Structure formats: structure tokens, C-alpha cells
């Protein structure tokens, strides 16, 4: 007795009607279509998230750049304002210095007028009558009366040459001022700037001579300590470290309370 033959898949499919077969095929394809649709939605969502994040970062970067630009502009305006204040203060300081200079010149003029004229006593120092002494003195040419205002203008002109870096012309002008007005209240200052003009030209030896002359002649003047400081700097530049140190020590001994003394202490600490 033979076994019944099992129907094959093709036999099974052919046993279905066309409508049933179409339904069966559509049911089999539905999961794949659903999976494809899900993948597209997820990709769109991720793209949307990335776009949103990119836009947010762009907005943040743009905002930061805008704030940085505002800060830079504020800094420029603040810098300009501070520069204006510095210029104003510099002008006011220069004007105040000029007023003080004019005041001292005027004061010096008045004091000179109050000083008794030489030979005004009844008898001269050698016992001769005053009129005889006057006659003898009249034989000597009298020095022209000092004009503080003119001296101030001459000194200012020399100083402007120095500020304009015309050091050779400035040196000549300051040297000429000292020779023409040796008793002027501005003579020590002119001698000081004469030394600085020489140093600016690279002539340390002559600069030392000029500053040394200032210290020797006007030892009590405020510029004397500054002159010693410059002498030390010139000696250092010439390679004479021993002399430079000795000059600084002399400065501290003679002018311990001067502003130059503080600088001298700092330089000595580094030697």
C-alpha cells in the first residue's frame, strides 16, 4: 500500500484562489513597508534635531560676536576718553608749570629790586667815600639789567628744540643761555638740559663734564641730584662700573631725600 504524496508549496499556492493569493502576498509585504516608513521618520526626526541644534548654535555664536563687537567699541570709546583726559591733564600740568615759572621769575625780579645797590653805604669797603667808590665803579661797564620774561622765552625756545629732538641745536642754545645769563634762576636748569643734549648726541664724556659743572656750581639746586644720576648712567655706559657706583653712593649721601635717591637705591641693588 503506497503512502499519499504531501502537496508541495507550489501545489498549495495553486490551490488558493487569485484573490486569496493577493491577500496573502500583501500581508507578507506589510511588515517590510512599515519598517521602511519607520526608518524614514526617524531620519527626518534626527535631521530636524540637528537642524534645530545648528540653528541654536548659530544664534548663540552670532549673539556672542555681537556682544564682543559692542565690547570692542566700548573699549575704543573708553580709550579715546582716557587719551583725551591724559592730554587735558598734560596741558593743565604744563600750564601750571608755566605759571609757577612766571611766578618765580616775577618773584626773583621783585627781590632783586629790594636788594641794596652795591656802594650805597656812606663809605665803600676800602674806606673811600661813597661817591668816590661810585665814580670808580662807573668806570666798569655795567651789566645790562636782567629781563626775566626775555630769559624765560629764551629758555623755553631752547627746551622746545630739545623736545623736537634737535639735540645739537638745543645744546648750543642751552650753553649760550648759561653763558649769557649765569645768574639767572633758570641757569641751573639750562645747564642740566645742556648735559642731556650732549648725552642724546652720544657724547657721554662731555655730558659728564656738563653735569659735573652743574653740581659744582649749583650744589643746592634740585637738579643737582638728577645730574649725579645722569653722571652715573654715563659712567656705566662708558664701562666704568666702579665710578658709576661711587657716584650713586655720593648721591645718596648728599641728597638722601631727593627723588633721584630712590632711583639710585634701585640701581645700586642691581649692581
pLDDT in tens, 137-193: 444 455 556 788 888 899 999 999 999 999 999 999 999 999 999 999 999 999 999
Mean pLDDT of 120-142: 46
- At residue 42, the pLDDT reads 78
Tens digit of pLDDT for each residue in 212-233?
A: 999 999 999 999 999 999 999 9
Kind and range of the H or E run holding 262 = helix 259-270
The angle subtended at Cα 148 by Cα 143 and Cα 151, nearest 5°, is 85
Give the single-character DSSP code of 123: B
Question: What pLDDT does residue 63 have?
Answer: 84
The per-residue pLDDT for 64 is 86
Domain ranges, ordered by start, for the chain: 41-113, 158-270
pLDDT bin (cut points 50, 70, 90) of residue 55 is confident
For residue 48, the model assigns a pLDDT of 81
Distances 251 to 64, 92, 117, 225, 236 between C-alpha atoms, Å: 57, 32, 38, 6, 15
Number of H helices and E strands in the chain, helices first, is: 10, 0
* Burial class of residue 188 (count of CB atoms within 10 Å of its CB; 0-12, 13-18, 19+): buried
Q: For residue range 235-268, what is the model confidence (pLDDT) as tens digits?
A: 999 999 999 999 999 999 999 999 999 999 999 9
Residues 193-206, mean pLDDT to the nearest whole number: 93
CA distances from 243 to 107, 205, 229, 238, 256 (A): 40, 13, 12, 10, 19
Give residue-wise pLDDT tens across range 81-104: 676 667 666 656 666 666 656 655
Tell which CATH architecture fits domain 158-270: Alpha Horseshoe (1.25)
Q: What is the pLDDT of residue 118?
A: 46
Q: How far is the CA of 235 from the CAs of 60, 196, 208, 215, 231, in angstroms?
A: 62, 14, 8, 16, 6
Question: 125: pLDDT confidence band, cut at 50, 70 and 90?
Answer: very low
Amino acid at each position: 500500500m503506497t503512502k499519499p504524496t504531501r502537496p508541495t508549496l507550489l501545489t498549495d499556492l495553486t490551490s488558493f484562489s487569485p484573490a486569496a493569493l493577493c491577500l496573502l502576498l500583501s500581508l507578507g509585504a506589510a511588515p517590510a513597508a512599515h519598517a521602511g516608513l519607520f526608518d524614514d521618520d526617524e531620519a527626518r526626526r534626527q535631521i530636524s534635531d540637528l537642524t534645530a541644534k545648528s540653528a541654536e548654535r548659530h544664534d548663540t555664536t552670532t549673539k556672542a560676536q555681537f556682544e564682543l563687537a559692542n565690547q570692542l567699541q566700548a573699549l575704543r570709546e573708553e580709550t579715546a576718553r582716557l587719551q583725551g583726559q591724559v592730554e587735558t591733564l598734560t596741558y593743565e600740568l604744563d600750564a601750571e608749570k608755566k605759571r609757577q615759572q612766571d611766578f618765580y621769575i616775577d618773584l626773583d625780579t621783585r627781590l632783586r629790586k629790594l636788594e641794596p645797590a652795591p656802594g650805597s653805604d656812606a663809605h665803600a669797603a676800602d674806606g673811600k667815600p661813597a661817591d668816590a667808590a661810585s665814580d670808580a665803579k662807573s668806570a666798569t661797564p655795567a651789566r645790562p639789567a636782567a629781563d626775566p620774561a626775555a630769559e624765560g622765552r629764551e629758555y623755553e625756545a631752547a627746551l622746545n628744540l630739545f623736545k623736537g629732538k634737535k639735540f645739537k641745536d638745543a645744546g648750543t642754545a642751552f650753553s649760550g643761555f648759561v653763558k649769557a645769563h649765569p645768574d639767572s634762576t633758570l641757569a641751573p636748569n639750562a645747564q642740566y638740559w645742556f648735559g642731556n643734549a650732549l648725552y642724546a648726541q652720544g657724547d657721554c664724556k662731555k655730558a659728564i663734564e656738563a653735569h659735573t659743572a652743574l653740581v659744582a656750581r649749583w650744589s643746592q639746586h634740585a637738579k643737582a641730584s638728577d645730574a649725579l644720576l645722569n653722571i652715573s648712567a654715563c659712567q656705566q655706559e662708558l664701562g666704568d662700573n666702579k665710578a658709576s657706583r661711587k657716584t650713586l653712593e655720593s648721591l645718596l649721601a648728599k641728597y638722601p631725600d631727593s627723588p633721584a635717591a630712590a632711583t639710585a637705591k634701585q640701581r645700586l641693588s642691581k649692581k
